[in-house]
Structure 1
Amino acid sequence: MDLHEHAKQILFSGNLEDKLAIIDLDTSFKLTSSVEKPSNPSRSKIIQFSNKKIKFPKKHTLHENDKKAQALHFFANHELQAIELMAAGILIFPTENEADHKFKLSLMNTIQDEKKHFLLYMNRFNELGVEFGDFSVGDFFWRQLAKINTKAEFYSFLALTLEAANLDFAKYYCELFSEIGDEKTSNIMKIVYEDEIRHVAIGRSWLDLWRGNLDLWAFYIENLPELITPARAKGMVFDHEGRRKAGLDEGFINKILTYRDDFSVTDRKNWK
């Protein structure tokens, strides 16, 4: 199975096991045409996207196993959407040269990490008595694909926004779970955090390659999907160190840190 065949398996099979399969892939260069964006990834009925809103558990409840499992279920759905988004990224852009192929290889390598993260989350919430699909799942990440038409837009949204924000979230919850004595869950968050540094670095390196004479901030802003702002690129704490390790310069980091609009998550100073 080659990159594109596996990307199609991820995107168009409703079977969770197919999406998460670890496969020895043929990664040789092949010319490919683009595939039309699907409106939704195929998912079995129990894990299809829902309009039902479920609130993320409050900080003070996360010592309770059911609330902890619900939080991990949220995280797992984020990982699955990322897997599906990256599979779409492999398919919706043609492969016309070696650079296109390397772009897709980098996506597939990141997909393997996201599969690992999903399984870590799922195994942990299974231990706590929850199955994937016990809670409804949203589609915010996936919905943005309709607005993305270039590889620069793709990585601006995926790497420098979603994955950069997850530096903050993963670090925050790593420390929180450690504080309440759950080192097992804390260690999962640490693994996710360390992988996210590399993922942000990959996106940053591609944007550096494509931005020409524009500085990274200007190029990033120019390529964000409609209605997505840099406020989405951070969490309730701000991880300077992880961003530096990902190769972001101080100017870019400070612009993210000080960016403000009406998106409220980053203004929740004291989550309760």
Structure 2
Amino acid sequence: MMLPIAIDSVGAACAHVLLTPHPVAKLMSARAVARAWRHGRLEARFDAAMPDRPARPDAPELLPPNRMPKRGKIGSDRARIAMLHALAHIEFVAIDLAFDLIGRFGGQFPVAFIDQWMQVGAEEAMHFALLDRRLRQMGSHYGALPAHDGLWQAAEETATDALARLAIVPMVLEARALDITPATVERFASVGDHASARMLCRIMADEIRHVSAGTTWFTWATNRLGLDSPKHYQILVKQHFRGALKPPFNASARRQAGLTEEFYAALAT
């Protein structure tokens, strides 16, 4: 897929991804934007406003988290499909989160920030494609079940502060995925769904790098401002995150991502 010829800036390209509603078209747009940046076809201009909300397809129906149906035990096909659908929705929203981060805040960072988050956006698109393909192999598809909108609520909460966005999205929400994915992999493997288990392991390896990107640029920005990175992280999480950081933590994966215990231990409940 090629971008429209009129799109020649990073800002316009990121807005294009967010304003593309159809899942397949969005992932293709994400890949096209990342490729265009990599090949030097986009200028580092931030001349387009990011939408308050991305365009969304007619399905899935978006529900508040407390209205989401219970998934049940992982041993049934229905429960595994529900889990994979929930993960597919997270990756679908993560495409928009990556490109919104670039388009909204990229001008505050070096060009290397754009390089890294373009790669993240392309990988989120790949993750969504993997999960949707697995759903189809199991007789379902993305959009067949309802989903919740909590991830984009975090984006709305941090829409005016780059440090808050980095603290909450990669360093809280994506870091939480590092904590829970190994147990999810074990549950899929325990019922013989090794295809899904392998896929989730592959996705988790990428997510460690995504959390690392958040930690790297959060630390870069706080150091530049003369702030103590862990302490400022704790302040921002208390201000912007609705909920608690719940152990157990995957300390090994978090350390690989540079998210050491000095950041989050004081916030644990």
C-alpha deviation, 1:249, in angstroms: 3.0
The AA in structure 2 aligned to 1:210 is A
Change (3 A) 1:230 1:195: farther
The AA in structure 2 aligned to 1:243 is R
The CA distance in 1 between the partners of 2:87 and 2:261, in whole Å, is 29
Match of 2:92 in 1: 80
Please state if 1:30 is matched with 2:43: yes
The AA in structure 1 aligned to 2:18 is L
Matches within 5 A, 1:61-72: 61-72=73-84
Please state if 1:127 is matched with 2:137: yes
Please state if 1:228 is matched with 2:241: yes
Match of 2:206 in 1: 195
Judge which range, 205-214 or 220-229, deviates more.
220-229
The CA distance in 2 between the partners of 1:37 and 1:111, in whole Å, is 15
The CA distance in 2 between the partners of 1:224 and 1:109, in whole Å, is 26
Q: SS at the partner of 1:231?
A: coil
Match of 1:179 in 2: 190
Kept in 2, the 8 Å contact 1:79–1:115? The answer is yes
Kept in 1, the 8 Å contact 2:14–2:102? The answer is yes
Cα deviation 1:113-143 (Å, max 9, x = unaligned): 1111111111111111112111112211101
The AA in structure 1 aligned to 2:57 is S
The CA distance in 2 between the partners of 1:51 and 1:238, in whole Å, is 26
Cα deviation 1:238-260 (Å, max 9, x = unaligned): 2111011112334335335xx12
* Paired-residue identity, %: 23
2:52 to 39, 43, 47: 39
The AA in structure 2 aligned to 1:7 is C
Match of 2:175 in 1: 164
Cα deviation 1:81-128 (Å, max 9, x = unaligned): 1111222122223637xx343222222111111111111111111111
Cα deviation 1:11-65 (Å, max 9, x = unaligned): 101222221113231344734245444232112212353448223423xx21211
Kept in 1, the 8 Å contact 2:189–2:197? The answer is yes
Kept in 2, the 8 Å contact 1:72–1:121? The answer is yes
The AA in structure 1 aligned to 2:157 is K
Is there any run of 5+ residues in structure 2 with no aligned partner, and where?
none
C-alpha deviation, 1:226, in angstroms: 4.0
**CA RMSD between the two structures:** 2.4
Match of 1:263 in 2: none
Match of 1:55 in 2: 69
Please state if 1:145 is matched with 2:155: yes
Question: So what's the TM-score if we normalise by structure 2?
Answer: 0.83
C-alpha deviation, 1:185, in angstroms: 0.9
The CA distance in 1 between the partners of 2:46 and 2:15, in whole Å, is 13
Please state if 1:251 is matched with 2:262: yes
The CA distance in 2 between the partners of 1:48 and 1:15, in whole Å, is 14
C-alpha deviation, 1:164, in angstroms: 0.5
Change (3 A) 1:144 1:92: same
Change (3 A) 1:109 1:65: same
Change (3 A) 1:144 1:46: same
The CA distance in 2 between the partners of 1:31 and 1:254, in whole Å, is 37
C-alpha deviation, 1:228, in angstroms: 0.6
Is there any run of 5+ residues in structure 1 with no aligned partner, and where?
261-272
Residues matched between the structures, number: 252
Match of 1:218 in 2: 231
